[in-house]
Amino acid sequence: MEDEANDNNDDIEPFEPEACVPNVDAFEADQYDELLLTEPLLPRNNMLLPARVIGRKRDQDGNPVGQFNPDPILNTRVYLAEFEDGHVAEYGANIIAEAIYNQTNDDGYHEVLFNEVIGHQKNDEALPAEASTVDAVPRRTTKGWDVCIEWKDGSPSWHPLCEIKNSFPIHLAEYALKYELQDEPAFKWWVKEALKRHKYMLKAAKTRYARRTHKFGIRLPNSVEEALMIDRETNTTFWHDAIQKEMKNVCIAFQFLEDGERVPVGYKWIRCHMVFDVKMDFTRKARLVAGGHMTDPPLTLTYSSVVLRDSVQIGFLLAALNNLDLLAADVGNAYLNAPTKEKVYCTAGPEFGAELQGKSVLIVCALYGLKSSGAAWRSHFAATPHQIGFHSCLVDPNVWMRPASKPDGFQYYEYILVYIDDLLVLSHQPALTMKSLEDFYRFKEEAERPKRYLGTEVIEWKFPDEVDRPYWALSSNQYVKEAIKNLEAKLAEDNLRLPGRCSTPMPIGY
């Protein structure tokens, strides 16, 4: 499979030959510096002011100061940060990283306080007034409209109308009434109802907005063209490398048509686009996603089951009873291993390269975004355990089992639990089973004992008189802490809080 991927990858030319660089995996840590060009609020004169990290500090010999560490808090590098007034100051990597984490929410986005709506604009995609209704029913759309918002810090920004309508409906409805926009198709179907329920909606209205233009202080592009423009402006190749890495992985999903060759009958055109993200360690990530919303496959193609939580708990119990070891691994680009069940094609964009851009390309593998991709991957994977002697459990088809025996003659079953692309092997020698699976698929990382599985902490216990025999426990401590944290935040919006003392989870006599 990997050899085939490499062969197909040779056909894809770099979309910017003059900017061609090695794959991101070939970069050393000192060369690929994720903190550069972040935009945090940094302390200056007892105030937090917006700044931009512009480079590393260097000594008199031109050598960068400090040593890299994968943990940003332990990173001793020293950076130069430029403020809006042009002042440049030195900050340690740990100060910058701590500032970024403290100024973003749990998802990594910076939250700002709403002040007022200050402007609007529409483009050619906006519906004309005569097309605002269908059979006397208003069309529910906000397409083609953008709104300008001023935030409490004084900064303005433009956003799609749908985002602002969902976050600040009352303020936007009042703005529409003030500037006589209530009869426009994008406003007509909801403004009157919003003003009618003004008192109730205002109480629940949000005052914070998560700005999706930046994540962890790093600007997020909306298209390949914008990503490359950011690289040119910042004299880096971060987004270019992320796109190249993704295209190398997904190239096996496409079959290009020869010049003059027509798209086969029965194939439907869909749109593909890049989704950009920033990881917790500030690494840029790009993923090519198919527009599955443009297809309408039969429901029988889309169903894909996963291992039951009861099966997971029973599996850990059997591991403890039979003194079995555990190994977990994630299949890399799992969906792309399976052929697609849908007849779809797309038009190659700039991410495919200048020579291929604009050509029609068939999607032959289960690309992320297609409705049937989950089912296609599960169906494809189901054939693999059979080839190495496993059979599916009658109660849970995502539990695979095979008779085995230990060196002392003890007979038992070894298991493979499958949750989409997460594999958990329970066996006396799980490394051998993992090696058999690795012959078919590429793992994201090396298989290891799980510390967390399906959101639950996995804890290994050993008793003093049985140091060679592990026992396994599943803990929900972290899950409960996060649930309480979310509940307290929700209650705080209504000036409520949880009781300080509670002897039991439920009332006595429940």
Type and span of the H or E element at 209: strand 208-215
Percent of the chain with pLDDT over 90: 18
For residues 290 and 346, the answer to whether their CB atoms sit within 8 Å is: yes
The pLDDT tens digits of the residues spanning 401-438 come to: 999 999 999 999 999 999 988 999 999 999 999 999 99
The pTM of the full predicted model, rounded to 2 decimals, is 0.59
Q: Which residues pair with 361 in a beta bridge?
A: 256, 346
At 342-370, the pLDDT tens digits run 889 999 989 888 888 888 899 999 888 88
DSSP state of 463: E
pLDDT digits (tens, 9 = 90+) for 211-234: 667 788 788 888 899 999 988 887
Type and span of the H or E element at 404:
strand 399-405
Residue 96 to residues 40, 52, 238, 509, Cα–Cα distance (Å): 7, 10, 19, 53
pLDDT at 29 over 70: no
Of the listed ranges 268-272, 461-465, 498-502, the least confidently predicted one is 498-502
Q: How far apart are CA 200 and CA 169, in angstroms?
A: 12
- Compute the average pLDDT of residues 248-265: 87
Query: Domains of the chain by range and CATH?
Result: 39-104 (no CATH), 109-214 (2.40.50.40), 309-341+355-450 (3.30.70)
